[in-house]
Amino acid sequence: MDLYQSPSHSKEHTVYLDAIWNQLQEQINPFLRVLCINGSIYRLMDDFGKWYIAKKFMEFTREAVMFCRDGTGQDRHYLGAPRHFIANGGIVHSPDGLEPFWTMDNGSNAHLETTTVCQPLAPSKPAKIPRPPNAYILYRKDRHNIVKAANPGITNNEISQILGRAWNKESREVRQKYKEMSEAIKVALLEKHPDYQYKPRKSSEKRRRTRRIHQTQGISVEVDLAASSATNTMA
DNA sequence: CGGAATGAAAT
DNA sequence: ATTTCATTCCG
């Protein structure tokens, strides 16, 4: 059969992978950067499986992730961006030609564990922070489904027209309520991202078609931590 | 992506 | 003063 990872997208294949992913997903929270995977489960995955799970997790991290075996003797692997592994005093060695492996700096350097690396589909974006919604946007968001349910077949543009009129007729109290909400959201955002700054782009450089790069075989051994190749967006 | 509404923030 | 974009989602 296929010695290499020719991604056979068979139903059964992804079904069990989805099961694994669902399991792992329980770990996910806004602060989680690295997933923990039991060794037994890890060994259940082939190259395609690892790529599949990594791809899923990258939707959260928005950056390149890699698998690393726990160097402390625990039978488990971690999945996360390389920077997290070195941040904890770890070291990633990459012998020429061979797969890179990772060790912890805390004494037990006896075991050099190998790792599998997955490159991101989209070269690690700096995670763009969405603009905070203004009062009207919040108002529309709230009533969007209401209006939609009341008017079968209505288009979003029509919903905007209706709610635009409704908004302008709304009482000061209501408008004020949404205004405060939007400001609270803005404050929370700035608290979470002190560096955030609205950066509108020129319409000329507006989002080209979402570069959907279906990397058939995303397993490539290539992780340079020293000089993280910050490949820019499309050419 | 454009569009349809409003408003905040950048240019 | 003008333009982007945040929300929503069909064409």
pLDDT, tens digit, 9 for 90 and up, residues A15-26: 898 899 989 988
Q: Which nucleotide is nearest to A208 (CA to C1')?
A: B1
pLDDT, tens digit, 9 for 90 and up, residues A51-83: 889 888 888 887 888 887 776 667 888 888 877
From A83, A117, A125, A93, select the one nearest A230 (Cα to Cα). A125
A82's tokens? 């390389």
Strand C and A160 CB separated by under 7 Å:
yes
pTM value is: 0.48
Q: Which nucleotide is nearest to A138 (CA to C1')?
A: C7
Instruction: Supply the DSSP symbol for A219.
Output: B
Measured distance CA(A106)–CA(A139) in Å, rounded: 53
A211 HSE (CA, 13 A, CB side): 14
Strand C and A182 CB separated by under 7 Å:
no
pLDDT at A94: 52
Measured distance CA(A127)–CA(A46) in Å, rounded: 29
**Contact at 8 Å (CB) between A125 and A62?**
yes
Strand C and A133 CB separated by under 7 Å:
yes
Q: Which of residues 168-227 of A touch strand B (CB under 7 A)?
A: 168, 175, 179, 182, 186, 197-200, 203, 206-210
Measured distance CA(A120)–CA(A105) in Å, rounded: 27
Strand B and A233 CB separated by under 7 Å:
no
pLDDT, tens digit, 9 for 90 and up, residues A89-133: 666 555 444 444 555 555 444 333 444 444 443 444 578 999 999
